[in-house]
C-alpha cells in the first residue's frame, strides 16, 4: 500500500502527528499516516512553482497526452483502485468499480480533449493600427483540497482541469481518505514531469490551513463544508488568491401529483441513499404533492427496507457505512431531534445499525415541515425527509428557501410543467424525471452557499485559467 507523499519527484513520509486511517466497515485501523510538516508543505509548493515554468509552456497536445496516460493507467489498475477506495470509505467494491472508476477515467479523458480545443474569443483591430487578441493562460500553483466522500473522483475533478489548463498542483486529500490519492501519486510520478502534481497529507486545520495561506499558492480549490469554504475565502482575501469552491447541498426533489410513482421511488431509493447519502447532490429533501404524498411515503418506506447494507457478500450491498463514528453520531443526532417533533414519523430506519462498523439504517422521515431542521440542514447520511405541499407555487418557494443551491429535481409526466419549474429553481443543476446523472461535458457546481466553482466541463477549464489581453501595434 502506498503510504508516502509526493513532493517533486521524491516520495517522503510525513514527519508530524500521525492520523489513524480507519476501515469504516469494521472500525479497524488500516494504517497510521503522519502528516506533512511546515517545511514539507513549503517543499511541495516550491516543487510545484518550479515545475510551473516549463509545464505552463507545454502545448495543449502535450498536456493532453499526459492526461490520457493517467486515465489509461487508472483504467488498467481499476480493480486495485476500487479495492482501496472500498476499504478506506466502506463503499461496496462493485459500486466503485462500475460507477466511480469509469467516470474518473472519462473526466480525465474529457479534459485531455478539452485542453486542445480551448480558444481565445476575439482577435481583431479594436483600435486603429493595433491588433488585440484574447489568450487563456494558466494561473500558477493550485492548492487542491478534497473531501472524503469520493476521494479519487474529487482528485480527478480537481487535477484534470488544473493540469489541462497548464497549472501545477499541490493536492491534499481528506485526512480520513488518502489511500487512493497516494496510489494516484505513485502513478503520476511515473507519467508527469517532477513537481507538476504533488500530494501532501494532513488535517485541515494544520496542513490545509498552511496551504490556503501559502504566499506562493495562486489559487485554492476546495470541495468541502461551507464553514471550510468561508475559511478559504478569508485566507484568500489576505493575498487575493483565486478560489474555486464546491460546498455541499440539500437537494430538493419536487414530486407533482402526476409523476410516475414507480420511477420516483426507484430514483429516490437509488439517489437518496447512494454512497450512504454522503453526497452533496443526494435526493434528500422531498416535496410531494397532496394526492401522491401518502402513496409515495408508503412505497418509499417499503423500498428503503430493501436497500442492502452490512452483508458479508459485498455484491448484496447497495450502500456502505458512514465514514466515521463521528459522522454517524452527527446523523443520529439529526434523526433523534427530528423524532422529537410530534408531526414527524420515522417510517423506515432511524437508528445506528447494530454490529461493527459505522452503519446507519436507511431512514425515511415523513411529515417533515419546511421549518424543521431535518429539512433545512445537510445531514450527509442515508436520511430522506418527505414534506407535503398543497400548491405548486409553495413547492417551488420551499425548494428555493435554502442556503444551499447545488442540485434539484422535478418529477412530473407533464414536461411543460416540469420545464417551467426548472426555470424557477435556484440550483446549479435541475434534473427532470431523474436525479444525480452526471456527464463530464456538463458543469457541476452550485449557487448561494453551495459555492461557485464549476467541476467538469469546459467551464472548469475556464475556472482554472485566466483571460488575458495581448495588443500588438502594427502601424
Contact 143, 209 (CB under 8 A): no
- Comparison of 252 and 392: residue with beta carbon closer to ligand NAD: 252
- Helices 261-271 and 293-304, axial angle in degrees (round to 10): 40
Binding to ligand NAD by residue 452, rule CB under 6 A?
Answer: no
- Active-site residue (options: 89, 280, 284, 429): 280
280 flagged as catalytic: yes
> How far apart are alpha carbons 403 and 385 in whole angstroms?
17
Q: Which stretch binds ligand NAD (CB under 6 A): 14-22, 171-179, 193-201, 284-292?
A: 171-179
In the complex, the smallest distance separating the C-beta of residue 84 from ligand NAD, rounded to whole angstroms, is 17
Number of residues near ligand NAD (by CB under 6 A): 30
Out of 36, 280, 364, 429, the only residue in the binding site for ligand NAD (CB under 6 A) is: 280
Pattern 372-401, ligand NAD, x by CB under 6 A: ------x-x---------------------
Pattern 128-147, ligand NAD, x by CB under 6 A: -----------------xxx
- Comparison of 52 and 427: residue with beta carbon closer to ligand NAD: 427
Which one, of 241, 239, 219, 221, lies nearest residue 229 by Cα? Answer: 221
Q: Which positions ≥6 away from 42 have C-beta within 8 Å? A: 214
Binding to ligand NAD by residue 406, rule CB under 6 A?
Answer: yes
89 flagged as catalytic: no
Binding to ligand NAD by residue 203, rule CB under 6 A?
Answer: yes
Out of 204, 349, 350, 381, the only residue in the binding site for ligand NAD (CB under 6 A) is: 204
Output the DSSP codes for 204-225. Answer: IIIIIHHHHH-TT--EEEEES-
Contact 218, 140 (CB under 8 A): yes
Contact 402, 377 (CB under 8 A): no
Binding to ligand NAD by residue 184, rule CB under 6 A?
Answer: no
- Comparison of 149 and 218: residue with beta carbon closer to ligand NAD: 149
In the complex, the smallest distance separating the C-beta of residue 225 from ligand NAD, rounded to whole angstroms, is 3
Half-sphere exposure of 379 (CA within 13 A, CB side): 36
Buried b / exposed e over 461-470, threshold 16 CB at 10 Å, is bbbbbbeeee
3-state helix, strand, coil in the chain (%, to 5): 40, 20, 35
> How far apart are alpha carbons 301 and 299 in whole angstroms?
5
195: left (phi over 0), alpha (psi -120 to 50) or beta: left
Out of 180, 223, 243, 465, the only residue in the binding site for ligand NAD (CB under 6 A) is: 223
Out of 55, 148, 274, 287, the only residue in the binding site for ligand NAD (CB under 6 A) is: 148
Contact 283, 263 (CB under 8 A): no
Residues in contact with ligand NAD by CB under 6 A are 145-149, 172, 174-175, 203-205, 208-209, 212, 222-225, 228, 231, 246-249, 280, 378, 380, 406, 446, 450
What is the set of active-site residues?
246, 280
Amino acid at each position: 500500500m502506498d503510504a508516502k507523499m509526493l513532493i517533486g519527484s521524491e516520495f517522503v513520509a510525513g514527519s508530524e502527528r500521525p492520523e489513524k486511517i480507519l476501515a469504516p466497515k469494521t472500525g479497524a485501523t488500516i494504517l497510521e499516516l503522519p502528516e506533512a510538516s511546515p517545511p514539507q508543505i513549503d517543499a511541495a509548493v516550491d516543487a510545484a512553482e518550479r515545475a510551473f515554468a516549463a509545464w505552463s509552456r507545454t502545448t495543449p497536445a502535450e498536456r493532453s497526452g499526459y492526461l490520457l496516460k493517467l486515465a489509461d493507467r487508472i483504467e488498467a489498475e481499476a480493480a486495485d483502485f476500487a479495492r482501496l477506495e472500498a476499504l478506506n470509505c466502506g463503499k461496496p467494491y462493485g459500486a466503485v468499480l462500475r460507477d466511480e472508476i469509469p467516470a474518473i477515467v472519462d473526466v480525465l479523458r474529457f479534459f485531455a480533449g478539452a485542453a486542445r480545443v480551448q480558444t481565445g474569443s476575439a482577435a481583431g483591430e479594436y483600435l486603429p493600427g493595433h491588433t488585440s487578441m484574447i489568450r487563456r493562460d494558466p494561473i500558477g500553483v493550485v492548492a487542491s483540497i478534497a473531501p472524503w466522500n469520493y476521494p479519487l473522483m474529487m482528485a480527478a475533478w480537481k487535477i484534470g482541469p488544473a493540469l489541462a489548463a497548464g497549472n501545477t498542483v499541490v493536492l491534499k486529500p481528506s485526512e480520513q481518505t488518502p489511500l487512493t490519492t497516494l496510489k494516484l501519486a505513485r502513478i503520476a510520478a511515473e507519467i508527469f514531469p517532477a513537481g507538476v502534481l504533488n500530494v501532501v497529507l494532513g488535517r485541515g486545520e494544520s496542513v490545509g490551513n498552511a496551504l490556503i495561506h501559502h504566499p506562493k499558492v495562486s489559487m485554492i480549490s476546495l470541495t468541502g463544508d461551507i464553514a471550510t469554504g468561508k475559511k478559504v475565502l478569508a485566507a484568500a482575501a489576505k493575498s487575493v488568491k483565486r478560489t474555486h469552491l464546491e460546498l455541499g447541498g440539500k437537494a430538493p426533489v419536487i414530486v407533482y401529483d402526476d409523476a410516475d410513482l414507480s420511477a420516483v421511488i426507484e430514483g429516490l431509493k437509488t439517489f437518496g441513499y447512494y454512497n450512504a447519502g454522503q453526497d452533496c447532490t443526494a435526493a434528500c429533501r422531498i416535496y410531494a404533492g397532496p394526492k401522491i404524498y401518502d402513496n409515495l411515503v408508503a412505497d418509499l418506506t417499503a423500498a428503503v427496507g430493501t436497500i442492502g447494507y452490512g452483508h458479508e457478500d459485498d455484491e448484496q450491498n447497495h450502500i456502505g457505512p458512514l465514514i466515521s463514528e463521528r459522522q454517524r453520531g452527527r446523523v443520529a443526532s439529526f434523526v433523534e431531534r427530528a423524532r422529537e417533533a410530534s408531526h414527524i414519523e420515522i417510517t423506515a430506519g432511524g437508528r445506528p445499525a447494530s454490529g461493527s462498523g459505522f452503519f446507519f439504517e436507511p431512514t425515511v422521515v415523513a411529515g417533515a415541515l419546511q421549518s424543521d431542521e431535518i429539512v433545512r440542514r445537510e445531514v450527509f447520511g442515508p436520511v430522506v425527509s418527505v414534506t407535503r405541499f398543497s400548491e405548486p407555487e409553495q413547492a417551488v418557494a420551499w425548494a428555493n428557501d435554502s442556503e444551499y443551491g447545488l442540485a434539484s429535481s422535478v418529477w412530473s409526466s407533464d414536461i411543460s410543467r416540469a420545464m417551467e419549474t426548472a426555470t424557477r429553481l435556484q440550483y446549479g443543476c435541475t434534473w427532470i424525471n431523474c436525479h444525480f446523472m452526471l456527464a463530464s461535458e456538463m458543469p457541476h457546481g452550485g449557487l448561494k452557499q453551495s459555492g461557485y466553482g464549476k467541476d467538469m466541463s469546459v467551464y472548469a477549464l475556464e475556472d482554472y485559467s485566466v483571460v488575458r489581453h495581448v495588443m500588438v501595434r502594427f502601424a
